[in-house]
Structure 1
Amino acid sequence: MTISRELVDELLRGCERPEDLLGDTGLMKELKIRLMERMLGAELTAHLGYEEGREVPVTQSNRRNGSSSKVLKSRDGTLPISVPRDREGSFEPELVKKGQTRIDGIDEKIIGLYAAGLSVRDIRAHLEDVYGLQVSPDLISRVTDAVLDEAREWQTRALDRMYPIVMFDALRVKIRDADSRLVKNKAVYVALGVTRDGVREVLGLWVAENEGAKFWLSVMTELKNRGVQDILIAVVDGLKGFPQAITAAFSETMVQTCIVHLVRHSLRFCNWKDRRNVAVDLREIYSAATAEQAAEILDRFEEKWVGKYPSIAPAWRRSWDEVIPFFAFDPAIRKIIYTTNAIASLNRVIRKSIKTRGSFPTEEAATKLIYLAIRKFEKDGRKVREWIAARNQFAIMFDDRFNA
């Protein structure tokens, strides 16, 4: 649509100062109000089926019934508008919904600030300082509570039938207990899957007080109920009871411990001057070509370091059943499952969001913020690097299961 020069000249007649155009009583604000009212009138016409000023069809009982006043808040300040009404009260405009008091995407601004970890008080101060908007704590709570509905839909969405890799990890969050009212360290469990096409996808998050086989079995059952029929490789970081739970639900899944976390655990037993040498010797173990060679190198490692650090080799032997699957894989797959760094990067995004919060009043409050952090993580980058080589290896090693 082209606006004629004559119309523009007519509109600008009498505008001699900047405030005549952009001020609180200026032309631009007046135009915005009039355009909104015109659009609302058009919506009511579509709802009733007849034009304003025309005769109402004889068979129709519903008709126009005046208007009501409403004040909206925006970057331009307050916008007093007239909202047309119908006699039966069935008209619900889309442009300005019932109960809506703000425009210009203020909801998105609130959610963005909340996702960045700002408190309700900080959000109110920011909106007032930057946009000149005075927002009540109740409005902020209502806006952020809407995220919970989105999070619930996300948590119950259907999943793929098969995931080549799923990584499981946990982080600790301070949450006030609903019964005792005491602040407790609760674990937030996250499952990060890699799809057949090499796309990272967070499958879900779960909040619990204690790790254990019973809890993990309930998580596995939930994944199955949402459509997951097979997981080729599950990568874990010493989660108690997890190997038993996952094999109970997915009997063919290969459970692989995170090598990097095992190395870090080992280095905690070393003094600073020996850490580099111990790390070099441990690298020889997980770089071995076969599980048999790795076992021999572990024996030599124990002979060398048992005098100073007798706890390291036994820790590797206790996890050996979850270490040796690693050696059956091609380097293309080893590179991906060598570490849970992908899920560690997700946890960093989550921690960045929650670091300004001493504790959360409820699990729902924690879920809102963590879900928004997950949403940001998935938006920033989801593709696994060099996936084509790994995909080819999965197709060969797992044939029917990968290609089904």
Structure 2
Amino acid sequence: MADGVDDQLVQQLADRARAEGLQLTGEGGLLAMLTKKVVESALEGEMDDHLGYSKHDPAGRNGGNSRNGRRGKKVLTEAGPVEIATPRDRDGSFEPQLVGKGQRRLTGLDDLVISLSAKGLTHGEIAAHLAEVYDAEVSKQTITTITDRVMDGMAEWQNRPLDAVYPVVFIDCVNVKIREGNVANRPIYLALGVTVEGTRDILGLWAGEHGDGEGAKYWLRVLSEIKNRGTADVCIVVCDGLKGLPEAIETVWPQAITQTCVVHLLRNSFRYASKRDWAAIAKDLKPLYTAPSESAALDALAAFGDKWEARYPAIIKLWENSWAEFVPFLQFDAEIRTVVCTTNAIESINARIRRAVKARGHFPTEAAALKCVYLALMSLDPTGTGRKRWVARWKAPLNAFELTFPGRLTTNKK
């Protein structure tokens, strides 16, 4: 379409606007005028299709229906408010598609509002931005109405079919503040799968239940939902000591290995130590997760205890309590360890979610929090560069997974 635009005509319009002191955006600006002309021309084209003949065409005489003037209305666009004239027909059967009856915004403005919301702007900030940049008056309620429409898409996304097998699934949570009487922290859980092709696939979002945390019954429901959507097998599930989750994994995917997140284990270790000791602790813990075998890792833990137990006994206790879910990591090839241990898989996603959540402060309802998180997820990697990078690095881990889990990546694949 861009090839069909007359550059000389565009330049003439721009020169004329500059000479006459005409602003680019806002009400009465050059883009608004052009938008008006394009929209009105498109509506006239829709009317031509509806009647079966063009304006002033003799073929329409005595045809039973005809044009019946135009009705003016103001619509909000990305160029600012635009006054347009919508054609009418005599029998009232014309239903315009570009700007429907009762519609007061072009879809481009809705897309802009959703994009700004996904980046973490509050509804007040979005309204101020539209007023400042586009001279468009949009109320907070209108912005809420626009963003609420994504909930239908969220429901469809949450129930879409999934791959039959994932080499790795990460399960993590982001805490949000929800105002239910008093403002309280509530977890929103995220499941992210690494596909056989090496791409990231966000499997869904689940709000945590009330109380002191979720148990096996909750996780059995979540994992069964994933399985019912098509995922018959998972090789490794990486999580962070979520109560009841290992038991649910064993029930839903009996062959899956439950692996504690090594990165979270390291971070939790630092919580018990003075910041000045972090570098030394990180150096002394490295032999544990780089050990070639469990016996070597036990020797490394003993050496770590000899040095640090007197000062930080909670760190040793943390590793001992997590040992059963940490040990499987040691049997993996280095390529699989890289996939399991990497923070890039889920940390970049969590960072985007946290930015959006932090900007809002707290949410009135659980649904509002889920909507915010969903919008943030939908704005990830719009250019697809992250996807290409993951695929390019996947061949070596894929070979390692095929050797470690023979036949499971192919026999279950759709």
Q: Could you say which residue in structure 2 is the equivalent of 1:375? A: 378
Deviation for aligned residue 1:344: 2.2
Deviation for aligned residue 1:102: 3.0
Q: Could you say which residue in structure 1 is the equivalent of 2:274? A: 271
* Range with greater deviation from structure 2 (188-197 or 83-92): 83-92
Partners of 1:307 and 1:17 lie apart in 2 by 76
Give aligned pairs, total. Answer: 394
Partners of 1:27 and 1:218 lie apart in 2 by 56
Q: Could you say which residue in structure 2 is the equivalent of 1:105? A: 108
% identical equivalent positions = 43
Amino acid of the structure 2 residue aligned with 1:279: A
Q: Could you say which residue in structure 2 is the equivalent of 1:18? A: 19
Q: Could you say which residue in structure 2 is the equivalent of 1:205? A: 205
Question: Is the Cα contact below 8 Å between 1:148 and 1:367 reproduced in 2?
Answer: no
Equivalent position SS for 1:396: helix
Deviation for aligned residue 1:398: 1.2
Question: Is the Cα contact below 8 Å between 1:22 and 1:29 reproduced in 2?
Answer: no
Deviation for aligned residue 1:322: 0.9
Largest Rg, 1 or 2:
1
Deviation for aligned residue 1:75: 5.7
Report Cα offsets for 1:362-402 as digits up to 9, x if no partner: 12221222112112234362343621110111112112111
Distance 1:34 1:170, change over 3 A: closer
Partners of 1:289 and 1:16 lie apart in 2 by 71
Q: Could you say which residue in structure 2 is the equivalent of 1:386? A: 393
Structure 1's unaligned 5+ residue stretches are none
Equivalent position SS for 1:118: coil
Distance 1:83 1:50, change over 3 A: same
Deviation for aligned residue 1:311: 3.0
Q: Is it true that 1:403 corresponds to 2:410 in the alignment?
A: yes
Deviation for aligned residue 1:215: 1.5
Report Cα offsets for 1:223-271 as digits up to 9, x if no partner: 1121111111111111111111111111111111111221222233333
Partners of 1:104 and 1:245 lie apart in 2 by 44
Partners of 2:405 and 2:42 lie apart in 1 by 59
Partners of 1:16 and 1:256 lie apart in 2 by 64
Partners of 1:77 and 1:232 lie apart in 2 by 52
Partners of 1:355 and 1:63 lie apart in 2 by 56
Equivalent in 90, 113, 120 of residue 123 of structure 2? 120
Q: Could you say which residue in structure 2 is the equivalent of 1:332? A: 335
Equivalent position SS for 1:356: helix
* Range with greater deviation from structure 2 (300-309 or 40-49): 300-309
Question: Is the Cα contact below 8 Å between 1:258 and 1:339 reproduced in 2?
Answer: no
Deviation for aligned residue 1:87: 4.8
Equivalent position SS for 2:151: helix
Structure 2's unaligned 5+ residue stretches are none
Deviation for aligned residue 1:213: 1.7
Equivalent position SS for 2:45: helix
Query: How big is the alpha-carbon RMSD for the aligned residues of Structure 1 and Structure 2?
Result: 3.1
Deviation for aligned residue 1:120: 1.9
Q: Could you say which residue in structure 1 is the equivalent of 2:165? A: 162
Equivalent in 280, 302, 314 of residue 311 of structure 1? 314
Equivalent position SS for 1:105: helix
Amino acid of the structure 2 residue aligned with 1:218: R
Equivalent in 251, 254, 258 of residue 255 of structure 1? 258
Distance 1:30 1:274, change over 3 A: closer
Question: Is the Cα contact below 8 Å between 2:88 and 2:94 reproduced in 1?
Answer: yes
Distance 1:298 1:37, change over 3 A: closer
Amino acid of the structure 1 residue aligned with 2:267: R
Equivalent position SS for 2:291: coil
Partners of 1:260 and 1:245 lie apart in 2 by 22
* Range with greater deviation from structure 2 (237-246 or 71-80): 71-80
Deviation for aligned residue 1:312: 2.8
Report Cα offsets for 1:72-98 as digits up to 9, x if no partner: 334655433321234554432222223
- With normalisation by structure 2, the TM-score equals 0.84
Q: Could you say which residue in structure 2 is the equivalent of 1:293? A: 296
Amino acid of the structure 1 residue aligned with 2:188: V
Deviation for aligned residue 1:274: 4.1
Q: Could you say which residue in structure 2 is the equivalent of 1:172? A: 175
Partners of 1:29 and 1:370 lie apart in 2 by 33
